[in-house]
């Protein structure tokens, strides 16, 4: 992915990805690979699913999604629903759930990488 810079002229110039963004991409890729290979990713996904159900987030999101779909006069494609509901879904994940998963991922990183 390239970043755009605004120079003194009206046109934009592309710049190469920074070293830190390449490093972050490599770290993310390595972490994902380790999580998958160890089976920890599946465990985290199941834990996330359980916590979201326990917190009521899933039911709240279903109701929100249903409301958004019914408020439209035209039918919505799946992509349109995701585009409209996705930001709300991410913003309403309980902080407690985020904190718990982040702690587990941090522990995994410390122990395995």
Domain boundaries, the chain: 1-38, 39-113
Residue 44 CA to residue 46 CA, distance in Å, equals 5
Please write the tens of the pLDDT for every residue from 61-75. 999 999 999 999 899
Contact (CB, 8 A) for 6 and 12: yes
Q: What is this structure's pTM?
A: 0.73
pLDDT of 99: 98
pLDDT of 23: 87
Q: Rounded mean pLDDT of the chain?
A: 86
Q: Both tokens of residue 5?
A: 């810079």
Residue 37 CA to residue 31 CA, distance in Å, equals 10
- pLDDT average, residue stretch 40-46: 98
CATH number attached to the domain at 39-113:
1.10.246.140
- pLDDT average, residue stretch 79-96: 97
């Amino acid at each position: 992915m390239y970043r755009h810079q605004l120079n003194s002229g009206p046109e934009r110039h592309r710049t190469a990805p920074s070293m830190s963004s390449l490093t972050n991409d490599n770290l993310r890729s390595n972490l994902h690979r380790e999580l998958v290979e160890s089976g920890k990713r599946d465990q985290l996904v199941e834990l996330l699913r359980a916590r979201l159900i326990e917190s009521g987030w899933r039911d709240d999101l279903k109701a929100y999604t249903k409301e958004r779909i019914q408020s439209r006069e035209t039918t919505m494609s799946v992509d349109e629903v995701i585009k409209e509901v996705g930001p709300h879904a991410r913003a309403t994940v309980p902080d407690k759930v985020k904190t718990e998963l982040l702690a587990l991922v941090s522990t995994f990183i410390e122990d395995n990488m």
